[in-house]
Amino acid sequence: MDYENLKSPTEFLKSMLATLPDEAILREYETWWEAEGKAISTAVDRGGTPWLKMFDPIGERVDEILFPASYWKMLRKGYQAGSVWRAFEAGSLIPSYLLGYLTSFYDTGLYCPYTVSLSTAVPLDKYGAKEVRERFLPQLLRKDESVWQGATWMTEAKGGSDLGAGVETIAREEGMHWLLNGEKYFASNAGAELAVVAARREGAPSNVRGLSLFLLPRNREDGSLNYFIRRLKDKIGTRSVPTGEVELKESEAYLLGQPEQGIYLILEVLNISRVANSVGSVALMHRAMIEALSFAQKRIAFGKPIVEHPLLCRQFDERVSLLKGAFALAWEAVSLLNEVWRETPPYSERYHLFRVVAHLAKYWTAELAVQTAKWAMEVYGGIGVLEEFGIERWLREAMILPIWEGTPHRQILDGLEAMERKRAHELLFTHLAPLAAPQALEETAGRVEALLDLPLEERESQAEAVFRDLAVFTAETLQNRPVTSPMVS
Amino acid sequence: MDYENLKSPTEFLKSMLATLPDEAILREYETWWEAEGKAISTAVDRGGTPWLKMFDPIGERVDEILFPASYWKMLRKGYQAGSVWRAFEAGSLIPSYLLGYLTSFYDTGLYCPYTVSLSTAVPLDKYGAKEVRERFLPQLLRKDESVWQGATWMTEAKGGSDLGAGVETIAREEGMHWLLNGEKYFASNAGAELAVVAARREGAPSNVRGLSLFLLPRNREDGSLNYFIRRLKDKIGTRSVPTGEVELKESEAYLLGQPEQGIYLILEVLNISRVANSVGSVALMHRAMIEALSFAQKRIAFGKPIVEHPLLCRQFDERVSLLKGAFALAWEAVSLLNEVWRETPPYSERYHLFRVVAHLAKYWTAELAVQTAKWAMEVYGGIGVLEEFGIERWLREAMILPIWEGTPHRQILDGLEAMERKRAHELLFTHLAPLAAPQALEETAGRVEALLDLPLEERESQAEAVFRDLAVFTAETLQNRPVTSPMVS
Amino acid sequence: MDYENLKSPTEFLKSMLATLPDEAILREYETWWEAEGKAISTAVDRGGTPWLKMFDPIGERVDEILFPASYWKMLRKGYQAGSVWRAFEAGSLIPSYLLGYLTSFYDTGLYCPYTVSLSTAVPLDKYGAKEVRERFLPQLLRKDESVWQGATWMTEAKGGSDLGAGVETIAREEGMHWLLNGEKYFASNAGAELAVVAARREGAPSNVRGLSLFLLPRNREDGSLNYFIRRLKDKIGTRSVPTGEVELKESEAYLLGQPEQGIYLILEVLNISRVANSVGSVALMHRAMIEALSFAQKRIAFGKPIVEHPLLCRQFDERVSLLKGAFALAWEAVSLLNEVWRETPPYSERYHLFRVVAHLAKYWTAELAVQTAKWAMEVYGGIGVLEEFGIERWLREAMILPIWEGTPHRQILDGLEAMERKRAHELLFTHLAPLAAPQALEETAGRVEALLDLPLEERESQAEAVFRDLAVFTAETLQNRPVTSPMVS
Amino acid sequence: MDYENLKSPTEFLKSMLATLPDEAILREYETWWEAEGKAISTAVDRGGTPWLKMFDPIGERVDEILFPASYWKMLRKGYQAGSVWRAFEAGSLIPSYLLGYLTSFYDTGLYCPYTVSLSTAVPLDKYGAKEVRERFLPQLLRKDESVWQGATWMTEAKGGSDLGAGVETIAREEGMHWLLNGEKYFASNAGAELAVVAARREGAPSNVRGLSLFLLPRNREDGSLNYFIRRLKDKIGTRSVPTGEVELKESEAYLLGQPEQGIYLILEVLNISRVANSVGSVALMHRAMIEALSFAQKRIAFGKPIVEHPLLCRQFDERVSLLKGAFALAWEAVSLLNEVWRETPPYSERYHLFRVVAHLAKYWTAELAVQTAKWAMEVYGGIGVLEEFGIERWLREAMILPIWEGTPHRQILDGLEAMERKRAHELLFTHLAPLAAPQALEETAGRVEALLDLPLEERESQAEAVFRDLAVFTAETLQNRPVTSPMVS
């Protein structure tokens, strides 16, 4: 197999997609990463958790995150390339996800700021009151260094799976604002100028129905800090995005959409990031393979490069095949989301089809990312565990992927729910029918139906194997699609 | 399923073995770990790579490794418990591997010093000249704080798989000593008072036949340093064993065994550590499960502990089953090694049976260790990637396990070689026959034979799937063994 | 000069004091430090800021400081030796300061926990309501591992010099408690079970008169956390005491003494720690010298140990002389405090004499500590700046000494105030008269009087030179005292 | 006093010098530092010791220092501005020292690479054989990114004061090269493309007469590594220059000058760096003051900025005066060196005058740098010891200054030697006569003569006080010089 065209992520995208929009932009972005970005990214990873400057010397609270200057350069590069603004200018999410693939190939953690900024801009655009939208949205879409960042803060210290019980932040209406009080435990992209935040209205029920979504600026109207970063968290990877604990103290916020529909808006936010997680997982898988490849082409054992040893060669071939399937699956989620992202409740069948594909993609691509990063370390052998050579980084980066935006358990159970309630599996099989071998399709469909017929406890207990096989089946089926079909808008 | 008896490694060993030798010793050791050792181990992991004090203030080379004092206490605890000396006193490796299981359960990296010390003592005992053995062996077997440590240094910078080409260290005979010159790139337990070292005799062929095994003391006869630690390596895990680069400069050494048989002796050393790697992998798998369990019993979601959610509950059950199979497989390697460890070439059939079981065990237990550590992080969800909670440590520790003592590729190919040359698979199937379902055995045997019939390139290319299935089959078969059978000497 | 008796701090104390109480206890404590404590202290310093575990895995706030286990052993050693309880058992501060000298000799930062614990116990004993005293004081005086620690938190983010303006924490009386709200920016010994805390009563004037002193337990009556550690601070030294930012949120507290007399109580607390700072500074100066000495005796240049080179030899002699003067000055502050520590306002003349001696001692001993630590690095030459050899630690430790408990500016101006308002200089000169050469005394007194006669601005502007000379004069005069005089109670 | 013009180092230079050459260049350099360099410098300091990548993944030795990319940008900025090449283009050292002042103001450690590169270029130019000079000198003088760096490696593990005994590196002549074997313990700017290295010729006497100076390229003629970096050292400061231990193994080198004159060449190299140390010390003193000032202007206590408090105000005024004196003294060393730097032995009287001024300047400016950095921390109070605010950095940086290029002891004794042997003090007094008050000059001269009349032991023992006073006297005298006099060439 010829691996050379794998070495460029842009080249790979081109080979996988019938048409590649923004090719020149992607090439320029890739060139920058190779020339400059990779070295910055490595330094940021090695630098570990950045410092949080909480007070200035005079004792004023400032909550400034002390990344090295080159971090900001790297970060802004992606905004300027269009990770957020292009989606609004093109009326399509495709440009964002294409750039996201490259970003994640070079620095998986860095993809997070762009994703959460996009996930802030979209609900603001869809659900923000006119004056709120007009005031804040343009800040997120600037093309220069003054661009604002977004963030999406839902989870609190009691955990994120059971959001209905876990969100204890309270929102109180007062004058033109809502005032929020509470603590957000996993505040990705802490320091962002805007955040969308889940909170419970005073007196609202203590389940998911009681949740609303709010827009929270970094600064109050009077210019003072509107939220406080209590600390940044030491993570094993994704050091290119600062994750903090954020305190809300009478923090000014703006309601997005209908107060009772908060949970739908929250799930819409998750749609965007869950798909980004899938795209990012594939890119990381890709990167880890390339790193393994470049080593295996140089390391000599028993008289020849180890990439030419039959066993390793076979593993590379299998990984390439898995990569292509994973990409096809993730990109299907992208394409479907691009059809439905402007929907508001109640949703179409297409939306439910999207949801089940997104769960399958999130689940399976993250799994492959971790497995591939682990495998790449094994290819390196002993030096694979040394920090000096950096290959271990990709496992550290990968481990967030099955966890962020819902663990495998969450994907399986939420996917199951979409099948039960919305018959999403039927939509999926209909969708796949033109591409799949009829017998395989039928057999897979039979297993899913059998699962759904089980009593609840039993159904959940046995779901994983079926869900995994469904993901693999979907990936392999989509991979068979003729490349001439127009996959992107 | 009742998980509670899993929480104590001693209890688990007792449940898995027909009789548990040294139970009181194991209980005391476990008690110490719970009361004191765990906290030390955590601090050592967090402390990162220790400092190497290379010179004293006066400019004399000292090469002292600056662990915190509590490290030495933790390290000596295991020596005193009998990780090395009991093997010689009991004439059996079982006590060492039992202690090793506990050590690895609490600190996987710490198991390395004991293993390499044992792997030094055994060839010294078997192959050392009388005066060398009498002078050095008792030092390794002391029961007090003055005990010496061993080390096994084979690999050099060009890599460890192809040892025949990779060893460039040269040994020159001069008077009573051999003098060694070269560099060892992965010197585990750097600082040990004794090491066994692979080197090539001057003028010997540049393949594995040219290798001999030497005993190398830390200090020369005149008391000065006999080897130099150039630096310690920053690793993602296993920080409880210092790994360094060691320089040999006219270093005094003693030949072990016949000069032409070095490669056999090297492989015998590897036997001990490969089995230890299997035992340690199972213990780490066990530990990661326990950590996941203790969290899942406390974390509440949707109104009940998550361990009671059907999907997670099912995963725990499956992990327990995998754990028992992995243990059975690893312990079979222990038992067989305990039969053959005193053999010298030419070896018995039992030895070749051991070898194939050891390859299967090394391969499969390490794979499970990594998978389980990853899964435990997923159970923790978001806090799984935070350094603060320590669950990520088990993945960092686990990643060495597929790599140390030969990567999966190495296990597969060396296992294949044992089958081709020694018909070791036939020995295995005969060994398993009393325990296995005849049809399953036959089917498995058929697949192995079919593989072996393929041409070389094809055989290696297709080996992995067969090898993996053979490992699973062997584990499951051994797990079925009635627990009343005497598994330990 | 014979330097050997300098090498033991106990021996040095014995040589400086007419009688040495608790000699056996001091010797045992020193023996422990040499055998075990030094290695722990080094590891704690190298470990840097400990981690703060703010939440447990289930999301409950715990605010646990993750020192290595050996830290707690080291810390408790000093409590058990009697750093706090002996003062109450003996009715004298002398045993505490003697132990403090040894503590600081071995780990300057560690002296802080004992000092602030003593500084908590004393006002609790003097000013606590009966039931508060009976409930909490015994916890601070336990002799076993269950001993509680104290802490003294005054300063907030706006700075500590101008306490009247800087304290923004508000105390509100409610039922049996006062409830405190605010933030303490330099919370030494964060995590202590008890703290004395400066706060302003609701509605009280916004100057020092509005301040009161409160006792604040770690846990509320209901067992939950009563204060929160927002973060620990990264400091260049004194890593053996955790310094944090502490948040008070409706924190339960008990008023100590009269509400309007808070500032007096605060200053009494400072008396104890300021004297400890002086004793600790002398001990650090002593330690740095010993480190320099042990190097200079071994390093050979131009054919002999550098300690025998005339220039360096002279420097050692001068340092020894300065050390003895510094000790005499610091110990005078100890002796006088030991006379007046039980006084309550209004204070005696002896109290004012103590105050001026304490300001001189704090100022001058800290200055010498820094200078000597710097000089010790110069003696080491190039290796003096390498972290590997640890001599640089003493400068990092020393730099806190001029700053803690009031910068040099504060000592000078507060000393000046004591002279102006209380004629403390006259008390001092009377005190010194029996020991000083009359002419020198007269000349010094004349300079002080001339300073005090200047207009305010001019007086402050010119104060430093006079104050410094007065400190040196006092130190040299006290050093002349015949050693047979009973200096300790 | 108006402090504002102190805030710009260029402005300060302009105010101190009658004419400021290269003003536009300096302003541009300052602008870059303010806009970009300061942030890089802070990140490099915080990053700690960079990693040394000793082997590539394939096992080839590479010894690459892994600074973040922005480090190289910062480093090259100074080379391109002309830190080295301008000296050769202008035929004057003045441009280098002016740039050095700015460099040190912003990053004291970074001044080292430029200094050692200049100190490599000068002896290569003066003493290199024609073909060696033509081959290597242009590399050091390039104006673009491809510029080579130099380094000056003298000291070995036994210490640097007694170079005659301390240098154990041996040089053996073989064909066109000398081959060097040994270890350099303090290899500043490790990784430099060229180094000048002190070594002893085979069979040469074991004192300073046996030393020669060699030029050592990074790579051998065949392109392979010519020296090896064993490790980088963890230092408390100056992290902008990598300091390593370097191993010479049959390293190719070129003799500079006459073999017997090595010690003279070594001292000439030291002349350049000792003067740079003085200039750098003044700049650091300046920087620490500016940092203190900017804080003192903002921090409010007792109702006004603390810079307006009389005591602190006085301290600022005194520091400004000391700064100006220190600058005058350091710049006199620059001016004199600029007259004599092209001399070869035997040297002129002017050269000996330079030497004594250089010793005084090195001694006194380093002392002031440390004192001022310490004082700046005190001005900051409690936050002065927090790593977060960075003021502590200046003390960490400053501590190298009294040590590098000879400790205070070395300056005093070598200065004394220049007076005894060359009557350099007489040259100095003659030089100062036009500027000094006759009586003060006479009194100072009398003290020096009296010192010199003492017997050797006594003379050294008493030298420090006289030497210090002579430094202060010289600084104050030079400070009085009318600013219109042309101080620079």
B239-253 tens-digit pLDDT = 999 999 999 999 999
pLDDT of residue A486: 42
For D215, the enclosing helix (H) or strand (E) is: strand D211-217
C-alpha to C-alpha distances, C465 to B298, C360, C399, C415, D1, nearest whole angstrom:
65, 12, 21, 13, 20
Q: Where are the beta strands (DSSP E) in A108-225?
A: 152-153, 170-174, 177-188, 194-201, 211-217
**Average predicted confidence (pLDDT) for chain A:** 95
Q: Answer whether B316's CB lies under 8 Å from B306's CB.
A: no
| pLDDT value, residue A158 | 85
Using an 8 Å CB-CB cutoff, list chain B residues near C299.
Answer: 57-58
**pLDDT 10s digits, B315-347:** 999 999 999 999 999 999 999 999 999 999 999
Asked if residue A419 has pLDDT above 60, the reply is yes
Q: Which residues of C touch B (CB under 8 A)?
A: 36, 39-40, 43, 46-47, 51, 53-54, 57-58, 66, 68-70, 295, 298-300, 380, 383, 388-389
Interface contact flag, C388 B51, Cβ < 8 Å: yes
How far D419 CA lies from chain B's nearest CA (Å)?
A: 31
Segment B90-106, tens digit of pLDDT: 999 999 999 999 999 99
Residue where the block lists tokens 């602008």 = D31
Residue D1: predicted pLDDT? 52
The minimal CB distance from D158 to the residues B52, B59, B158 is found for B59
Closest CA to A256 of A183, A339, A199, A182: A199
Q: Are D369 and D284 in contact (CB under 8 A)?
A: yes
Q: Answer yes or no: do A392 and B374 touch at CB < 8 A.
A: no
Where are the alpha helices (H) located in B17-93, listed in sequence order? Answer: 23-32, 38-47, 69-81, 85-90
Q: Which of D59, D157, D159 sits opposite B158 (nearest CB)?
A: D59
Query: How much of chain D, in percent, has pLDDT values that exceed 90?
Result: 92
CA A266 vs. chain centroid, Å, equals 15
A279 within 8 A of A392, measured Cβ to Cβ: no
Which residue of chain A comes nearest to D294, CA vs CA?
A57
Backbone angles phi, psi at C156, to 5 degrees: -125, -175
Measured between CA atoms, how close is D234 to chain C, in angstroms?
6
Percentage of the residues of chain A whose pLDDT score is greater than 70? 98
Instruction: Determine whether the interchain pair B55/D230 forms a contact, defined as Cβ–Cβ distance below 8 Å.
Output: no
Higher pLDDT, C482 or C370: C370
| Per-residue DSSP letter, A309 | S
Q: Is D256 helix (H, G, I), strand (E, B) or coil?
A: strand
**CA end-to-end span of chain D, whole Å?**
31
Distance from CA of A48 to the nearest CA of D (A): 9
Kindly tell me the burial class for residue D176, based on how many C-beta atoms sit within 10 Å of its own C-beta (0-12, 13-18, 19 or more): exposed
The predicted structure's pLDDT at residue B483? 56
Q: Are D361 and D275 in contact (CB under 8 A)?
A: yes
Question: CA A154, A158, A161: angle at the middle one, nearest 5?
Answer: 60
CB contact under 8 A, C54 and A245: yes
For the record, the structure tokens of D15 come out as 């105010």
Determine the Cα–Cα distance for residues A41 and A393; give it in Å rounded to an integer: 11
The predicted pLDDT at position B482 comes to 67
Nearest chain B residue to D55, by CA: B157
Question: In whole angstroms, what is the distance from residue C349 CA to residue C389 CA?
Answer: 48
The DSSP secondary structure of B255-324, one letter per residue, reads EES-GGGHHHHHHHHHHHHHHHHHHHHHHHHHHHHHHHHHHHTT-EETTEEGGGSHHHHHHHHHHHHHHH
The pair of structure tokens assigned to B175 is 């008077």
CB neighbour list of residue B224: distance below 8 Å, 6 or more residues apart: none
B159, B28, C73: which is closest to A305 by C-alpha? B159
Residue C217 has pLDDT above 80, yes or no: yes
Of the pLDDT bands very low, low, confident and very high (cuts 50, 70, 90), residue C483 is low
Question: Which residues on chain C are in Cβ contact (under 8 Å) with B299?
Answer: 57-58
- The pLDDT of residue A482: 67
Percentage of residues in chain D having pLDDT higher than 70:
98
Which tokens belong to A473?
Answer: 């089946």
D472, burial (CB in 10 Å: exposed 0-12, middle 13-18, buried 19+): middle
Q: d(Cα A1, Cα A296) in Å, to the nearest integer?
A: 14
Nearest to C51 by CA among A234, A388, A28: A234
Contact A171, A202 (CB under 8 A): yes
Q: What is the mean pLDDT of residues D30-51?
A: 94
pLDDT digits (tens, 9 = 90+) for B339-395: 999 999 999 999 999 999 999 999 999 999 999 999 999 999 999 999 989 999 999
In C, minimum Cα distance to B63 occurs at C388
Chain C residues interacting with chain A (CB cutoff of 8 angstroms): 51-52, 54-55, 58-61, 156-159, 185, 230-231, 234, 245
Tell me the nearest-neighbour CA distance from A218 into chain D, angstroms: 22
The residues facing B159 across adjacent strands are B156
Judged against a pLDDT cut of 60, whether residue C293 lies above it is answered with: yes
Distance CA B31, CA B27 (A): 6
Residue A27 and residue A29: Cα distance in Å, rounded? 5
Chains adjacent to B (≥3 CB pairs closer than 8 angstroms):
A, C, D
Contact at CB, D387 and C464, closer than 8 angstroms: no
Contacts of C55 in chain A (CB under 8 A): 157, 185
Q: Tokens 């979209």: give the residue.
A: A122
Element (H, E) at D101: helix D94-106
Contact C185 A61 (CB under 8 A): no
SS3 B407: coil
Confidence of residue D183 (pLDDT cuts 50, 70, 90): very high
Cβ neighbours of C315 in D, within 8 Å: 464
Min Cα distance A310 → chain B (Å) is 5
How far is C222 from C206, CA to CA, in rounded Å? 33
Which pLDDT does position B211 carry in this prediction?
96
At D489, the pLDDT band (50, 70, 90 cuts) reads very low
Hey, which chains touch A, using 3+ CB pairs under 8 Å?
B, C, D
DSSP bridge partners of A170 = A181, A200
Within 8 A of C306 by CB-CB distance, chain D residues are 161
pTM for this structure?
A: 0.94
ipTM: 0.96
What's the pLDDT score for residue B1?
A: 52
- DSSP secondary structure, D198-212, as one string: EEEETT--SSGGGEE
Chains touching D (at least 3 CB pairs under 8 A) are A, B, C
Nearest chain A Cα to B208, which residue? Answer: A302
Closest residue of chain A to D59, computed from CA coordinates: A299
Lowest mean pLDDT among B438-442, C403-407, D120-124, D158-162: D158-162
CB of A387 closer than 8 Å to CB of A345: no
Question: Within 13 Å, how many C-alpha atoms sit on residue A116's CB side?
Answer: 29
If one compares B135 and A1, the residue with the highest pLDDT of the two is B135
pLDDT of residue C482: 67
Residue D424, SS3?
helix
Smallest Cα distance from C158 to chain A, Å: 5
Rounded average pLDDT over D445-463: 97
Which pair of tokens denotes residue B343? Answer: 């053999």
Structure tokens at C347: 């204070």
Q: Which of B403, B410, B414, B451 to mutate to test the interface with A (most CBs of A within 10 A)?
A: B403
Q: How far is A93 from chain B (nearest CA, A)?
A: 27
Beta-carbon contacts of B293 under 8 Å, excluding residues fewer than 6 positions away, are B3, B6, B7, B307, B316
Q: Quick one: which of A122, A118, A116 has its CA closest to A154?
A: A116
User: What local confidence, expressed as pLDDT, does residue D280 receive?
Assistant: 98
